[in-house]
Amino acid sequence: MLDPTLLRQQPAELAARLHATRGYLLDPAALASLESERKMVQVRTQELQASRNKLSGEIGKRKSKGEDVSDLMAQVSSFGDEQKRGETRLDEIKAEIEAIALGIPNLPNDSVPLGPDESGNVEQHRWGSPREFDFQVKDHVELGARNGWLDGETAAKLSGARFTVLRGGLARLHRALAQFMLDLHTEQHEYQETNVPLLVNADAMRGTGQLPKFEDDLFATHVGEGEAASKRYLIPTSEVPLTNIVRDEILEESALPLRMTAHSMCFRAEAGSAGRDTRGMIRQHQFEKVELVTIARPDQSYEEHERMTRCAEVVLESLGLPYRRMLLCTGDMGFSATKTYDLEVWLPSQGSYREISSCSNCEAFQARRMQARWRNPATGKPEPVHTLNGSGVAIGRAMIAVMENYQNADGSITVPEVLRRYMGGVETLV
C-alpha cells in the first residue's frame, strides 16, 4: 500500500496523481471525512480513558476513608460504555480506511511514460533477428500434435479447458528448460534456489497485492470443516510465497540484497480472458515458471531492477530467441508495480513479439502491506524494504518459442545447444 501519510495529509493531491497516471478514481472528500472522524473519536476515547483513570483514583481515596462511592462508580460505568462504543467505531473507521488503502494501486515512478494501455509502452531495445523460413511455419499446437506430445483434448477430459498434457520429447524439453534456468540463475546470477508451498493463506496473498482486488483470478480451497475451516489459495506465481518469506521480519543491512529464485507451478483462473491466447499453451490455468524475487535497500532497488531484467534477458539470449525489452506505461503496469519492463519473445506463427517475462520494482508498496522492514544503520530504526519480482522466465512460453523458432520443414524441432546436456545429448526432437 501507499505511504499512509499521503492518505492522511494529502488526499486531494494523491487523488489527482492517481487519476492522471493510473486512471484510478479516489474520493478525497470521503477519505478526509473518515480521517477527521477518526481523529475526533480517538481524542474522545483518550479523554474518556483519562477521566476514568482520574475517577478510579478518587474512588480509591474515598474507599480508604469509608465514604460512599456509588456516584463515582456510576460515572465510571457511563464513561466505560461510551469508551467501548468509541473504540468499536474507531475500529470500524480504521477498517474502512484500510479497505480503501488496499484497493489503491501503486504510484508510477517518474521515469514511467504516461499512457492508457499497451499502446503507450516504449520499446527499449531488441536482441536477435527473427529467422527467415523457406517453408510454411507451424504454430506450437501443430508442432506438438505431430507425435501426440502436446495434448489439450486429454487434458480437457481430465480437468477442463486451458490445461495441457505433455508427453515424450516435449515433456523432456519443458523439464530441461526449467533445469537450465535454475542452474543459470543460481550459478551465474547469484540467486538462492528456494522451494516454496503452492498453497498460501490470505495474509500472503494480501501482502503481495493479489487480495482483495484480484480474488476472482485466484483458485482457492478450504482446509478443514466447520468453524475450524480455513481458506488457502493456489499461488498465481511463486512471487507470493517468496516475497512473503520476509513478512513481519526486520532484516539487517548485511542480509540485503536478498535474491531468491524458485521453479513452481502457477495457477490462474484468468477470469474474463478470451481470444487467440486460449489456443494451446499461451494462456493456461496451470503453468510453470522460474521466478526471480529480490528484497533490497531502497537506495539499491532500481539498480537491482536493471540487474534482474538483465538476468531474464540472458535466458533468452542463451536460448538464441529474438526478443525486445518494453518499458510499460502507466496504464499497462500491474497493480503493485511502480516500474515494469516486459520482455517479449518473437513467435514466428504470429509474426509478432509476445510477453515472456515481466520484471517489476514495487518499491515499498508490498513491504508496507507485509510489514517487511530493514534496520537502517544511519538511523537505527526499522524502515520498509523494497521488493522486486520478475519471470526468469515462463517455462511454457519459452518452450513454445523454442518449438516455433527452431522448427524444421519436416516438423522436427532442433534442440538449442544450451539445453542438450539436460536432454541426454538429444539434438533434434523428431
User: Which residues are the active-site residues?
Assistant: 268, 283, 355, 358, 397
Domain ranges of the chain: 4-103, 118-198+235-429
Would you state the CATH architecture of domain 4-103?
A: Orthogonal Bundle (1.10)
The residues pairing with 346 across neighbouring beta strands, listed in sequence order, are 353
Domains 4-103 and 118-198+235-429 share a fold: no
- For 134, the enclosing helix (H) or strand (E) is none
Q: Residue 116: exposed, middle, or buried by beta-carbon count in 10 A (0-12, 13-18, 19+)?
A: exposed
The whole-angstrom separation of Cα 187 and Cα 264 is: 19
pLDDT digits (tens, 9 = 90+) for 24-80: 999 999 999 999 999 999 999 999 999 988 998 988 888 888 888 888 888 888 888
Please provide the distance, in angstroms rounded to a whole number, between the alpha carbons at the two ends of the chain.
51
- Confidence at residue 271, expressed as pLDDT on a 0 to 100 scale: 65
Q: What is the pLDDT of residues 125-173, one digit of tens each?
A: 999 999 999 999 999 999 999 999 999 999 999 999 999 999 999 999 9
Model pLDDT for residues 360-377, shown as the tens digit of each residue:
999 999 999 999 999 999
Binding site listing for L-serine: 237-239, 268, 291, 389, 391
Ordered alpha helix ranges (H), 103-223: 140-145, 152-158, 168-187, 202-208
Which residues pair with residue 40 across a beta bridge?
none
- Please choose, from the candidates 156, 176, 75, the residue with its C-alpha nearest in 3D space to the C-alpha of residue 416: 176
Q: Phi/psi zone of residue 192: left (φ > 0), alpha (ψ -120 to 50 degrees), beta?
A: beta
B/e letters for 127-158, b = 16+ CB within 10 Å, e = fewer, are ebeeeeeeeebbbbbbbbbbeebbbbeebeee
Residue 390: strand pairing partners: 292, 359
Binding residues: 237-239, 268-270, 291, 355-358, 389, 391
CA 302 remoteness from chain centre: 17
Question: How far is the C-alpha of 93 from the C-alpha of 132, rounded, in Å?
Answer: 63
* Distance from the Cα of residue 210 to its chain's centroid: 7
Report the pLDDT value the prediction gives residue 273, as an integer from 0 to 100: 58
pLDDT in tens, the chain (430 residues): 999 999 989 999 999 999 999 999 999 999 999 999 999 999 999 999 999 889 989 888 888 888 888 888 888 888 889 999 999 999 999 999 999 999 999 999 999 999 999 999 999 999 999 999 999 999 999 999 999 999 999 999 999 999 999 999 999 999 999 999 999 999 999 999 999 999 999 999 999 999 999 999 999 998 888 777 889 999 999 999 999 999 999 999 999 999 999 999 999 998 655 555 768 999 999 999 999 999 999 999 999 999 999 999 999 999 999 999 999 999 999 999 999 999 999 999 999 999 999 999 999 999 999 999 999 999 999 999 999 999 999 999 999 999 999 999 999 999 999 999 999 999 999 9
Q: Are 393 and 289 in contact (CB under 8 A)?
A: yes
Q: What is the pTM of this model?
A: 0.92
Superfamily covering domain 118-198+235-429:
Bira Bifunctional Protein; Domain 2 (3.30.930.10)
Q: What is the pLDDT of residue 275?
A: 59
What pLDDT score does 71 carry? 87
Task: Provide the pLDDT for residue 64.
Answer: 87
Spatial distance between the Cα atoms of 207 and 215, rounded to a whole number of angstroms: 13
User: Which residues belong to the annotated binding site for ATP?
Assistant: 268-270, 355-358
